Amino acid sequence: MIDTEILLTIKLHNTLFADPRRIELLRQIKQIGSINQAAKLAGVSYKTAWDNIDAMTKISPKPLLERSTGGKQGGGTQLTSYADRLLQLYDLLQQTQKRAFEILHEENIPLDNALFATAKSSLQTSARNQLFGKVSGLKQKDSLVWVDVNIDGINEPICAVITEKSSKRLDLMLGRDVMLLIKAPWIKLNLKRIGVNDFTGEIIAIEQNEVLVKIGHTVLCAIIEEPISEKVGESIQLHIDPEQIILATL
């Protein structure tokens, strides 16, 4: 891991809204329930703290602070749910920025594709096969949409079938970057050719009940329940059920 410090600044209407100092003030107010005490813990004067909170409040879409009365503490200042979500968002953005900088040094991750970079740097899934491509065809049949996706290094597109609602939610269109998630058990070997998602690949490894098959520049992992006659280096037929492909976009 690279020791980095990224100072995140958020502006609204071209005016400073949040920065590390202001966020720290909000954190302390959340913990202490007092602007005065929060200022001391944040290492700034009360006036500086109040000026910063006041500046945020003036441009904030929703209130950041609310007064509480009564109770053992005799009342105080609390964060609104909006301010609390702001703290969570700020933490999330910091983590994302830090990880984004770290992938600068991972030359196998291209930085010209936001979906690819995000998935490779941040997304962990149980699907062994994660492919990236562009939508090359959309055809609707009743309530289902057949989506063709071109994958670099594979001569024929891979077809996925999703619902019309899912297609609209993903905002699919020709040329859209998509990720395909295919679990290893969903890939079938030596199945009778159906015509859709039938490929011929080369076996590059057989490990216990797993078979790695190379198609073009892509390597797919399949699960086998029974031994196969093909050996490493030989060709094998492979089929992917279009309905067992999960699509993802940004």
**pLDDT tens-digit series, residues 75-106:** 588 999 999 999 999 988 887 777 767 666 66
Instruction: Categorize the per-residue pLDDT at 152 as very low, low, confident or very high, splitting at 50, 70 and 90.
Output: confident
Clarify whether residues 135 and 44 are in a common domain: no
Picking from 136, 156, 133, 154, the residue whose alpha carbon sits closest to that of residue 213 is 154
CATH code at position 18: 1.10.10.10
Q: Is residue 1 part of a domain?
A: no
Clarify whether residues 50 and 125 are in a common domain: no
Q: Is residue 195 part of a domain?
A: yes
Clarify whether residues 138 and 189 are in a common domain: yes
**What's the confidence (pLDDT) of residue 138?**
96
CATH code at position 152: 2.40.50.100
pLDDT greater than 80 at residue 116: no
Region 146-151: mean pLDDT is: 95
Q: Is residue 109 part of a domain?
A: no
Here the tokens at position 169 are 């939610």
Q: Is residue 52 part of a domain?
A: yes
Q: Is residue 227 part of a domain?
A: yes
Domain interval for residue 56: 10-103
**What's the confidence (pLDDT) of residue 118?**
60
pLDDT greater than 50 at residue 15: yes
**What's the confidence (pLDDT) of residue 71?**
45
Clarify whether residues 78 and 14 are in a common domain: yes
- Which residue in the block uniquely carries the two structure tokens 């619902």? 163
Clarify whether residues 119 and 235 are in a common domain: yes
Clarify whether residues 168 and 226 are in a common domain: yes
Clarify whether residues 60 and 90 are in a common domain: yes
Spatial contact of 218 and 132, defined as CB atoms under 8 Å apart: no
pLDDT greater than 70 at residue 69: no
Clarify whether residues 239 and 122 are in a common domain: yes
**What's the confidence (pLDDT) of residue 14?**
92
pLDDT greater than 70 at residue 1: no
Q: Is residue 196 part of a domain?
A: yes
**What's the confidence (pLDDT) of residue 155?**
87
* Residue at a domain's end among 103, 135, 160: 103
**Over the chain, what is the mean pLDDT?**
86
Q: How many domains does the chain have?
A: 2
pLDDT in tens, 175-221: 998 989 999 999 999 887 778 999 999 999 998 889 999 998 889 99
Region 54-64: mean pLDDT is: 95
Region 2-28: mean pLDDT is: 87
Q: Is residue 181 part of a domain?
A: yes
Report CA-CA distances (Å) from 195 to 187, 191, 237.
15, 11, 12
Q: Is the pTM of this model over 0.95?
A: no
Give 218's strand partners: 215
Clarify whether residues 137 and 226 are in a common domain: yes
Clarify whether residues 179 and 236 are in a common domain: yes
Clarify whether residues 125 and 208 are in a common domain: yes
Clarify whether residues 99 and 17 are in a common domain: yes
Residues 59-67: contacts with CB within 8 Å, 24+ apart?
59/12, 59/13, 59/15, 59/17, 60/12, 60/17, 61/12, 64/26, 65/29
Pick 3 or 136 by higher pLDDT. 136
Residues with Cβ within 8 Å of 107's Cβ and at least 6 positions away in sequence, in order, are none
